[in-house]
Amino acid sequence: MEKIYLIGFMGSGKTTVGRELSLALGWRFLDTDEIIEQRLGISISKIFSEYGQIFFRMEERNTLQSLLKENKVVIATGGGMPVFFNNLELMKNSGYVVYISVSLDLLRQRLNKDDESTKRPLAKKDDVERILNFRLNYYNKAHYICDVDNLTPLEVANKIKGAYKRWKKSI
Ligand code: S3P
């Protein structure tokens, strides 16, 4: 089964890069947040406010498990996915995990836009550095760490494609 998982902080561009990458590979593109929203018929921020974060994390975990059978897919995951349960291990054992790494300054710029905290319940300005520092312990365990600050989504997609092909040859 061939799968590439994109992990990384909110606002790092996993969905945009994921779409480019899926085109470059001729694979399908899936986004775990979108799957959850579609299944429940409400937005992520509503899920957080009405059912709480633990409920969301369970949904996220179930979604990951339901995708294990998929082949030739690029999967963009929510920023917290690798941090809960043994999700990171599950991803690493079932595919190629890529950390889309964006500098703290650039993440702050992106997340400071007014509409962001309504879309992303955890994107509060003051928390970004603290949450990122904790999550780096997980993100940095990806198969491939892709620094993307000065690259276009297409350049990032091509970089990941190259890294994936090299990894496939090596295993
Ligand atoms: C979250 C990130 C969001 C979404 C939810 C929680 C997080 O996804 O899953 O709001 O814990 O970082 P994006 O990374 O796609 O914004």
pLDDT in tens, 19-46: 999 999 999 999 999 999 999 999 999 9
Ligand 1 atom showing the smallest separation from residue 83 Cα: 11
Ligand 1 contacts CB of residue 120 (under 6 A): yes
Instruction: Report the chain's mean pLDDT, rounded to a whole number.
Output: 95
Ligand 1 contacts CB of residue 6 (under 6 A): no
Nearest CA to ligand 1 atom 3: 78
Residues in the chain, total: 171
Ligand 1 contacts CB of residue 121 (under 6 A): yes
Contact 14, 84 (CB under 8 A): no
Rg (CA), the chain: 15
| Ligand 1 midpoint to CA 79 (Å) | 4
**Most ligand 1 atoms within 8 A of CB, residue of 19, 29, 33 to mutate:** 33
Pairing of strands 96-101, 144-147: parallel
Strand order of the β-sheet with 144-147 is: 28-31, 73-76, 3-7, 96-101, 144-147
pLDDT at site 120: 81
pLDDT at site 125: 64
**Most ligand 1 atoms within 8 A of CB, residue of 32, 36, 44, 107 to mutate:** 44
Ligand 1 atom showing the smallest separation from residue 60 Cα: 9
What's the CA gap between 98 and 96, in Å, rounded? 7
pLDDT at site 117: 63
Indicate if the pLDDT at residue 114 is higher than 60: no
pLDDT at site 119: 76
Indicate if the pLDDT at residue 124 is higher than 80: no
pLDDT at site 116: 66
Indicate if the pLDDT at residue 118 is higher than 90: no
> Among all chains, which residue has been given the structure tokens 């959850």?
36
